[in-house]
Amino acid sequence: MDKREQLVRMAFDLFYRDGIHAVGINRVLAESGIAKKTLYHHFPGKNDLVAAAVEYRNQVFVQWLEQRLDAVTGREAMMSLFDALDDWFNGRDDDLQHFHGCFFINVSAEFGDPEHPIHRLCAIHKQQVAAVVRQKLAVWLDDSDKVEALLDMLLLLKEGAIVQAHVVGDKQAALKAKGAAQALLDAARV
Partner DNA sequence: ATCTAAGTAGACCGTTCTGTCTACCAAGAG
Partner DNA sequence: CTCTTGGTAGACAGAACGGTCTACTTAGAT
Closer CB to DNA, 119 or 136, in the complex:
119
Q: How far is the CB of 42 from DNA (least distance, A)?
A: 6
Pick from DNA, a copy of itself, none: which does 58 bind, CB < 5 to 8 A by kind? none
Cβ-defined contacts of 159-167 (< 8 Å, 24+): 159/102, 159/105, 161/82, 161/85, 161/89, 162/85, 162/101, 162/102, 162/105, 163/101, 163/102, 163/105, 165/85, 165/89, 165/99, 165/101, 166/99, 166/100, 166/101, 166/102, 167/101
Binding track, positions 15-44, relative to DNA; x by CB under 7 A: --------xxxxx-----xxxxxx-xxx--
Binding track, positions 44-83, relative to DNA; x by CB under 7 A: -xxx------------------------------------
Closer CB to DNA, 31 or 66, in the complex:
31
Torsion of CA 21, 26, 31, 33, to 10 degrees: 150
Closer CB to a copy of itself, 74 or 160, in the complex:
160
Q: How far is Cα of residue 112 from the mean position of the Cα atoms in its chain?
A: 17
**Residues 146 and 138: beta-carbon distance below 8 Å:** no
Closer CB to a copy of itself, 30 or 187, in the complex:
187
Q: Is 33 left (phi over 0), alpha (psi -120 to 50) or beta?
A: left
Pick from a copy of itself, DNA, none: which does 149 bind, CB < 5 to 8 A by kind? a copy of itself
Closer CB to a copy of itself, 36 or 100, in the complex:
100
Binding site for a copy of itself (CB under 8 A): 17-19, 21-22, 100-101, 104-110, 112, 114, 119, 122-123, 126-127, 149, 152-153, 155-164, 166-169, 173, 176-177, 179-180, 183-184, 186-188
Q: CB under 8 Å to 110, separation ≥6 — which residues?
A: 19, 20, 21
Q: How far is the CB of 100 from a copy of itself (least distance, A)?
A: 5
Residues forming contacts to DNA in the complex (CB under 7 A) are: 2-4, 23-27, 33-38, 40-42, 45-47
